[in-house]
Amino acid sequence: MKLFTLTSVASALVMSSSVFAQTLAITNATVHTATEQGTLTNASVVIKDGKIAAINPQEIQADVTIDASGKVLTPGFIGSLNQIGLVEVGAVADSRDGADKKASITFDPSLAFNPRSSLIPYARKGGVTRDLIVPSGSEGIFDGLASVVSLSGEFDSVSQSKVALVVDLGAKDKGSRALSLQELIQKLEDHKNREKKDKEVKKPEVEILDGVFAKEIPLLISVSRAADMLELLKVKAKYDLNMVFARAQDAVLIADELAASNTPVIISAMDNLPGSFDSMHASLDNPGKLEKAGVKVILTIAGDSAHNLYQLRYDAGNAVSYGMSPDGALAAISSNVADVFNIDAGSISVGKAADIVLWSADPFEYSTKLEKVWIDGVEVSTESRQDKLRDRYMAESDMPRAYNK
């Protein structure tokens, strides 16, 4: 017996297409756009075909309308500098795919990205809809390539690869940092001066370095000390490259130079104690100071950020309490990340991917609740593994709680 006829299959396809093509309107919201438009009150946002189709249109025609009176709408947040989807349990070696001692310029850990990781729904509960995943652990200075992933949970979640070349410089347990910097400069010099016949041979490493010199792939350099960053700014100017500094606890000492050279920094808002002689100027007020100096700031989670990406909004709120503007803190976890790594999301503006989050109030306030999340215009679940465990072990039963199904 045939379970499906051609007619029923065709009908199902039409139904699924119509669901995807539905137009959604969110009305009467306080909309934090993360653009020059700033915050809009009693505003409406229309979503169609996965994109933001209109903001405050004169006439709203939608298949579904959500009245968001008294609620706040923001772009989905964008995490950075972590290995979500590449690690499940840090203490279990075979669940870690983001690091390799043999890694080099061409290492692309996104090939091992697991969109069904239990860490992803938990991150979504914090309003995070996309993420910049990075490799680590190389014995050399080049850790590999960063990628952008969607936290939708779908199997095609790696949306962009080769968005940055990750370089680890600074203090060394053995040897001198000077040799690492020399290695970077020599690699750039060799590539710049290679013979014409070599240019015709597009090996993977050559293609990546071509992207670096074309300013399509920024160098994402992990470095903390101001003196090291100043040397790197000389390299940036000499070869006309795009650079982004990560960790960067000493960045406040050279804020003017960073702003003048248009060099973004990725820092933690909770980094307030020196972890080494390279990070003597770690402070809770660094994000605010850098913002005021005109530096493009991106906020990341300190420590085990793959497991704690949920708290990104709380860290941003902490940055506000120590001097960063609310708009600056929002940009630091949304539009700034999108601008630096060319991500089609991160702001509520027409034409951008509809990664948006509806909150009960100010998302930087601890008591605020997340209500709905859309990624590429599709509403995604906010239920995490933690929620399922709570429901399982709090259910009424004649058996002991630990035995509940």
Q: Chain centroid to CA 189: how far?
A: 31
Q: In the prediction, which pLDDT does 8 show?
A: 46
Q: In the prediction, which pLDDT does 395 show?
A: 77
Query: pLDDT category, 197, cuts 50, 70, 90?
Result: low
53 to each of 44, 100, 173, 237, 391, how far by Cα in Å?
Answer: 11, 43, 52, 40, 38
**Cβ–Cβ under 8 Å, residues 135 and 165:** no
**Cβ–Cβ under 8 Å, residues 353 and 345:** yes
> Could you say which DSSP state residue 162 is in?
E
Determine the average pLDDT of the residues in 343-357.
97
Count of C-beta atoms within a 10 Å radius of residue 176? 10
Domain map (residue ranges) of the chain: 77-346
For domain 77-346, the question of CATH label 3.20.20.140 is answered with: yes
The CA-CA-CA angle for residues 385, 390, 396, to 5°, reads 140
pTM above 0.75, yes or no: yes
- Residue 19 confidence (pLDDT) above 80: no
- Residue 397 confidence (pLDDT) above 90: no
Query: pLDDT category, 142, cuts 50, 70, 90?
Result: very high
Average pLDDT, the chain: 91
Q: Map residue 378 onto helix, strand or coil.
A: strand
Q: What is the dihedral of CA 47, 53, 57, 63, to 10 degrees?
A: -40
Helices vs. strands in the chain: H and E counts, helices first: 13, 16
Beta strands per DSSP E along 37-179: 39-48, 51-55, 64-67, 72-75, 77-82, 128-133, 142-150, 158-168
The CA-CA-CA angle for residues 332, 273, 176, to 5°, reads 95
